[in-house]
């Protein structure tokens, strides 16, 4: 048996065993849905980063950078880092105070509206299913190209693994496995980068070789490769800034990110996890995209760019490291999938069926998880693998629909249930229809007409007009007011002092990123040219 296949198979068996062990210790429905609201900071960080980073990063983003789009990805990766920082402080801790089980339930409580709860649940379930499908296809493709085992077998093994893990252990198991997988793929991204840099002759030598790289001009410069996407550096930069904002918004309010705050043991864990997740999100992706671009120095002729790190794992890294590295990519894909699936199950049971009986609710959630696993398996087998653009579609539709409503649900006194409903609906339809129009007509839309911004604009109009035509009710006013009352149990002067230090830590993170980008990218590029 192929050693890479064996490594991945063993890791999948370990995840299922973990699911069985955690599943046996589940006490009640709260344990299944929100890990008993008792998760420490480290588990929240692990789950936020592991849910965000999937095969899209290790294959899609890595491929883009190998092909000459490093600077754009660097902009997106750094800009989105602020998502969990703002998300935890301006949304996450208020979300936790609502004591909701799911985000749609939070919207339902906040606006005292079942239609808002159900609409947000439907948008979340559809977009997470699309996103789940793209992640599954990515992991299946990865496993197939490494092991030569047929795609159908790989995809079946993967779907069985994450579906069983989620059904058995719920959110508690997902948090634990996410953290374990986060530890594996983040450490391997650093080790992988070290080995690739060494093989490329050292960091500054590798950058120097790429400054005047004839095969892919602009591969490491701020302009990017001008044959790749837009024909000027400024257009590529503006596009990347736009998408940095989009992905920052996703990292701020997307359910697979902000729902983690519902599981935190207290508000301090929420804020601290936001800052620490920013560190994880930035550095893992920084390691991945630089590792990918440096492979150009060693082999500039890889036919499929998205396979660049797989090629590096199987050709540059020692076999043992290579096996753990690809297991890490697999872990990144599985960890995202378990989070999506557990959220889909929870939303189906809590928001759509509104099960009053706890045991029945968990049973329906488990049935839904199993059914979605089967549907995704069927679609993944029949559809051709595609990572980059499909991934953007699922997440951007959700961000367009939820972003403004989520922020306004906490920070606006004027938004009404009608405004929230129309804001969500128009944001979703606007983004989806613009993407559909662009795909069907083959039109390349300018950045200001990008589906996300188009959807957000319509969402804003929906909120504005819907809220202007209706009045805020007493129930909505009191629901919002309750979000601003810090629970007595959270008022602890010592804990507050420690949490405040995380804000200062985030300032240092920004300064560290500035220094890293200047010393590791701007200066060597300037001296190499």
Partner 1 sequence: MELFVSLFLGLWVTLSGIIITIKLSKDFKKESK
Residues that bind partner 1 (CB under 8 A): 71, 74-75, 78-79, 81-82, 85-86, 89-90, 221-223, 233, 237, 271, 274-275, 278, 282, 486, 490-491, 493, 496, 499-500, 503-511, 513-515, 517-518, 521-522, 525-526
State the nearest-atom distance from the C-beta of 94 to partner 1, in Å: 11
SS3 label, residue 136: helix
d(CA 21, CA 66): 41
d(CA 499, CA 503): 7
* Burial class (CB within 10 angstroms; exposed 0-12, middle 13-18, buried 19+) of 27: exposed
- Judged by beta carbon, residue 60 or residue 274, the one nearer partner 1 is 274
- Judged by beta carbon, residue 75 or residue 142, the one nearer partner 1 is 75
State the nearest-atom distance from the C-beta of 125 to partner 1, in Å: 31
253: which residues sit within 8 A by CB, 6+ positions away?
87, 91, 399, 402, 403, 406, 407
Are 467 and 418 in contact by the 8 Å Cβ rule? The answer is: yes
d(CA 73, CA 63): 11
State the nearest-atom distance from the C-beta of 392 to partner 1, in Å: 21
Q: How many residues appear in the chain?
A: 529
d(CA 448, CA 444): 12
Are 264 and 47 in contact by the 8 Å Cβ rule? The answer is: no
Apex 241 CA angle, 240 and 244, nearest 5 = 85
State the nearest-atom distance from the C-beta of 376 to partner 1, in Å: 35
State the nearest-atom distance from the C-beta of 89 to partner 1, in Å: 5
d(CA 431, CA 446): 14
State the nearest-atom distance from the C-beta of 503 to partner 1, in Å: 3
- Judged by beta carbon, residue 436 or residue 515, the one nearer partner 1 is 515
φ, ψ dihedrals at 264, nearest 5°: -70, 150
d(CA 403, CA 252): 8
d(CA 408, CA 207): 45
- Judged by beta carbon, residue 316 or residue 483, the one nearer partner 1 is 483
State the nearest-atom distance from the C-beta of 233 to partner 1, in Å: 7
For the chain, the farthest-separated pair of C-alpha atoms sits apart, in whole angstroms, at 67
State the nearest-atom distance from the C-beta of 93 to partner 1, in Å: 9
Are 262 and 100 in contact by the 8 Å Cβ rule? The answer is: yes
d(CA 204, CA 182): 29
- Judged by beta carbon, residue 232 or residue 443, the one nearer partner 1 is 232
- Judged by beta carbon, residue 13 or residue 515, the one nearer partner 1 is 515
State the nearest-atom distance from the C-beta of 161 to partner 1, in Å: 35
199: which residues sit within 8 A by CB, 6+ positions away?
298, 316
- Judged by beta carbon, residue 370 or residue 510, the one nearer partner 1 is 510
State the nearest-atom distance from the C-beta of 249 to partner 1, in Å: 13
- Judged by beta carbon, residue 446 or residue 487, the one nearer partner 1 is 487
Q: At 139, list the tokens.
A: 């992991």
- Judged by beta carbon, residue 145 or residue 408, the one nearer partner 1 is 408
Specify the DSSP class assigned to residue 523: H
- Judged by beta carbon, residue 90 or residue 204, the one nearer partner 1 is 90
- Judged by beta carbon, residue 97 or residue 109, the one nearer partner 1 is 97
d(CA 261, CA 94): 9
- Judged by beta carbon, residue 85 or residue 139, the one nearer partner 1 is 85
How many angstroms separate the Cα of 445 from the Cα of each of 234, 395, 441, 459? 16, 18, 11, 19
Query: Residue ranges of the alpha helices (H) in 35-113?
Result: 41-52, 55, 62-66, 70-80, 82-87, 93-97, 103-110
State the nearest-atom distance from the C-beta of 262 to partner 1, in Å: 20
- Judged by beta carbon, residue 100 or residue 275, the one nearer partner 1 is 275
Apex 516 CA angle, 513 and 521, nearest 5 = 125
SS3 label, residue 370: helix
Report CA dihedral (331, 334, 335, 337) to the nearest 10 degrees: 160
State the nearest-atom distance from the C-beta of 167 to partner 1, in Å: 37
Can you name the residues that pair with 264 across neighbouring β-strands?
39
State the nearest-atom distance from the C-beta of 49 to partner 1, in Å: 16
């Amino acid at each position: 048996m192929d050693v890479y296949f064996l490594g991945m198979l063993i890791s999948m068996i370990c995840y299922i065993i973990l699911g069985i062990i955690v599943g046996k210790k589940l006490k009640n429905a709260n344990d299944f849905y929100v890990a008993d609201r008792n998760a420490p900071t480290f588990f929240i960080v692990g789950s936020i980063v592991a849910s965000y980073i999937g095969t899209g990063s290790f294959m899609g983003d890595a491929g883009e950078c190998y092909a000459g789009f490093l600077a754009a990805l660097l902009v997106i990766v750094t800009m989105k880092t602020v998502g969990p920082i703002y998300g935890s402080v301006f949304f996450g801790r208020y979300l936790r105070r609502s004591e909701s089980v799911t985000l749609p339930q939070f919207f339902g409580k906040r606006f005292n509206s079942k239609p808002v709860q159900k609409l947000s649940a439907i948008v979340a379930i559809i977009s997470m299913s699309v996103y789940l499908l793209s992640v599954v296809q990515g992991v299946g493709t990865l496993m197939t190209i490494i092991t030569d085992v047929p795609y159908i077998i790989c995809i079946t093994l993967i779907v069985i693994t994450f579906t069983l893990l989620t059904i058995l252990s719920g959110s508690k198991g997902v948090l634990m496995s996410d953290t374990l997988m986060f530890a594996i793929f983040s450490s391997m991204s650093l080790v992988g980068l070290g080995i690739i840099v060494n093989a490329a002759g050292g960091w500054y030598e590798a950058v120097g070789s790429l400054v005047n790289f004839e095969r892919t001009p602009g591969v490491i410069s701020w302009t990017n490769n001008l044959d790749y996407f837009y024909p000027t550096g400024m257009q590529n930069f503006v596009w990347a800034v736009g998408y940095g904002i989009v992905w920052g918004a996703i990292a701020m309010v997307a359910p697979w990110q902000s729902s983690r705050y519902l599981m935190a043991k207290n508000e301090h864990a929420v804020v601290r996890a936001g800052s620490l997740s920013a560190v994880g999100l930035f550095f893992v992706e920084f390691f991945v995209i630089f590792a990918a671009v440096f492979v150009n120095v060693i082999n500039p002729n890889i036919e499929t760019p998205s396979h660049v790190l797989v090629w590096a794992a199987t050709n540059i890294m020692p076999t043992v490291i290579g096996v753990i590295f690809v297991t890490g990519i697999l872990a990144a894909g599985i960890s995202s999938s378990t989070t999506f699936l557990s959220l889909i199950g929870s939303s189906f049971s809590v928001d759509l069926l509104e099960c009053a009986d706890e045991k029945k609710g968990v049973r329906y959630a488990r049935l839904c998880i199993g059914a979605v696993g089967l549907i995704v398996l069927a679609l993944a087998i029949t559809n051709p693998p595609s990572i980059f653009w499909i991934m953007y579609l699922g997440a951007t539709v959700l961000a367009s629909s939820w972003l403004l409503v989520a922020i306004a649900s906490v920070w606006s006194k004027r938004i009404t249930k009608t405004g929230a409903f129309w804001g969500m609906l128009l944001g979703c339809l606007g983004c989806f229809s613009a993407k559909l129009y662009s795909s069907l007509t083959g039109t390349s839309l300018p950045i200001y007409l990008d589906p996300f911004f188009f959807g957000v604009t319509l969402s804003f109009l929906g909120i504005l007009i819907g809220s202007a035509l209706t009045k805020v009710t007493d129930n909505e006013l009191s629901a919002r007011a309750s979000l601003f009352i810090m629970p007595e149990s959270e008022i602890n002067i010592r804990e507050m002092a420690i949490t405040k230090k995380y804000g200062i830590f985030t300032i240092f993170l920004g300064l560290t990123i500035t220094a890293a980008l200047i010393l590791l990218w701007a200066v060597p590029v300037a001296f190499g040219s």
